[in-house]
A and B are shown apart, each in its own frame.
Chain A
């Protein structure tokens, strides 16, 4: 990979609109499968909430991402209340929500015709990978200092539009994948 000069602002046009969207969600991890509904919503205080419940309304987790930075666990099912899992999910959603993108730390790399737009995190780096003209978002990736940890593909999303579907695959945890497919919700009350 080769360092190149690029502009962090070109990534902003790919930032999806998660104002209020509902996804049918499947999680596969170490041979287990859980499914449910994942709701992503912007709140009146400008924070973003991410809630995952099963088909019976049983909440697996309810996470909050304040507008500036930070993270809060509003609720989590005992079965998921493990520090490592919460940390992984937090980082996954921060990547999807285009958070922690400090321009002062940004740099870009080129490899095989693709630009890796890098935003260093407290641990590791978040990459938004585009074509050489920054016209298409090919994929997103979380990486440690040495190797990719997770990659995500979004389909159908861009500025002002929530993705139709999202798939995430983890490399460091075997057989851990998350897929989301948007479902239609009734109008607000």
Chain B
């Protein structure tokens, strides 16, 4: 539907096995924390807490992000996969098998840098033809991250 890009920028933290903090700075302030099956979001002053277990779709989308970054996507039973490569990159193409995910996504691609086997991008293609791309830049691997980064208030 959109022929233009809407760009957001921010920071991203991941700790094995199930902790993610995603913080947008532009175009507006937004925080999302995934921690142990709980989802916390903060947009401006408004906070929201959801247990991913309370909703199957949230649970599955939660798992997609953690698996894509954590490298366990090939073990996710909700998708079938194919892998392609060029000289510098692997492309893992994931096609949803689960019915409810098939209604949301046509496919999801993960691009993996052959230098360090980390994800450089996650591309989520919707049935409408629109897509969301999360690109990871300026990565710092195996750094110390304070526990408080993933704390849910």
Contact = CB atoms under 8 A, between A and B. Distances in A.
Interface of A: 20, 22, 24, 26, 28, 32-35, 37, 39, 41, 43, 49, 51, 53, 55-59, 62, 74-75, 77-79, 183-189
Contacts of A34: 48
B46 A41 contact: no
Interface stretch (B26-34, B76-84, B141-149): B26-34
- Is chain A's binding surface mostly helix, strand, loop or mixed? strand
A55 B24 contact: yes
Given A78-B100, A183-B28, A188 B4 contact: yes
Interface of B: 1-8, 22, 24, 27-28, 30, 32, 41, 43-44, 46-48, 55, 57, 61, 65, 100, 103-104, 124, 126-128, 130-132
Given A35-B30, A55-B41, 7 more contacts: A22-B6, A24-B27, A28-B46, A33-B46, A57-B132, A74-B1, A184-B27
Contacts of B104: 58-59, 77
A40 B130 CA distance: 14
Contacts of B128: 59, 62, 74-75
Closest 10 CB pairs of A and B: A57-B132, A35-B43, A183-B27, A188-B4, A33-B46, A33-B48, A55-B30, A24-B28, A49-B1, A185-B6
A22 B55 CA distance: 28
A56 to B, nearest CB: 7
Given A57-B124, A58-B104, A78-B103, A39 B2 contact: yes
Contact of B32 (A26, A33, A55, A186): A55
17 contacts: A22-B6, A26-B43, A32-B48, A34-B48, A35-B30, A39-B6, A41-B2, A43-B1, A51-B2, A53-B132, A55-B24, A55-B32, A56-B61, A58-B132, A78-B103, A186-B7, A188-B3
A78 B98 CA distance: 14
A56 B132 contact: yes
A83 B132 CA distance: 28
A127 B96 CA distance: 45
A185 B8 CA distance: 10
